Amino acid sequence: MKMGVMLGAGSDQDSSLDGMIATAKRCEDMGFDNIWVANIFEFDAITLIGLIGRETSKIAMGTAVVPSYPRHPVALAQQAMTTAVATDGRFELGLGLSHKMVIENMFGLSYSKPARHMREYLEVLVPLMRGEAVAYQGEQYQVNCQFNIPGLKPVPLIVAALGPKMLELAGSLSDGTTTWMTGMQTLEQHIIPSINSAADAAGRPVPRVVAGLPIALTDNVEAAKAKISDQLQVYGVLPSYRAMLDREGAAGPADVALLGDETALRRQLQQLRDIGVTDFNAAVIDVEQGCYQRTMEFLQSELAQ
């Protein structure tokens, strides 16, 4: 299982542009496989990754995730391909629908037919990122375009998928999925078998499953849960995450977080490996003084597992 770090999750990190780049460089120096950058209401994730890529040499870098609705698939394909070249092929595009309240209430766009939207989006995006000419006439997109990007290497595409329709799309049209606030039981019984089945039916390789979860090395689990409940409470009410928490039987984000001493965390990470998670995206939460650095060093010790 690859070990990655969610950039910007820990409250003790410097959230300036220079600070984010410095954190990414430290992750590379520590030997982590990849870093993941959310595209929310801070820096543009793909632009940030392009900058990081010019100051690193080995670590893979992915978005977790870029919302599809505000970006035309042609524009995103060109940006992703350019960033892939800028990072010498280390860029991984994580794509998702975002949420109805964001797309409609904040951006003023329609969130109708999300599965249809994502299918058309991928049917345009995927061949474009392979350098193919696209002549596409769909319900939402009509495209005639092709790019010629010198030095381009394949760009891995990972689609955020939680529900059955999105998992079918992710398995049949992309390289895998990335999840957030999705517990062990739900990963094992719903996410992984669903996407594996879709990929198998489409004749595609076994897909990647990137599991993003909060994690903290601590001896005070109850205090850590209280802090995570407060800090990440929004993820307990957004409908798509709420559905996964309900499926898990979890009251909120703290109930799916990886918390405890080294023995407890090691057991939970092994469980992720055993159920078929291919990539762990560690959202290290600084629940108490020194916790962030402690947890990062623990995760570093797990890299060889």
pLDDT in tens, 22-81: 999 999 999 999 999 999 888 999 999 999 999 999 999 999 999 999 999 999 999 999
Tokens representing residue 219 in the block: 């001896």
- For the chain, what is the total number of helices (H) and then of strands (E)? 12, 12
- What was the pLDDT predicted at 206? 98
Global pTM value: 0.96
As a whole-number percent, the residues of the chain with pLDDT over 90 amount to 96
Tokens 């939680």 -> residue: 162
* 9 pLDDT above the threshold of 80: no
Distance (Å, whole) CA 94 – CA 157 = 6
Confidence of residue 190 (pLDDT cuts 50, 70, 90): very high
The domain in which residue 286 lies consists of: 2-301
CA 214 centroid distance within chain: 13
Helix (H, G, I), strand (E, B) or coil at 120: helix
| Nearest-10 Cα torsion for 237, 238, 244, 247 | 40
Distance (Å, whole) CA 108 – CA 180 = 25
Average the pLDDT over 216-229 and give the result.
Answer: 97
Report how many domains make up the chain.
Answer: 1
Average the pLDDT over 129-153 and give the result.
Answer: 96
Check which CATH number belongs to the domain holding 271 and give it: 3.20.20.30
* 11 pLDDT above the threshold of 70: no
As a whole-number percent, the residues of the chain with pLDDT over 70 amount to 98
Render pLDDT for 273-290 as a digit per residue (tens, 0 to 9).
999 999 999 999 999 999
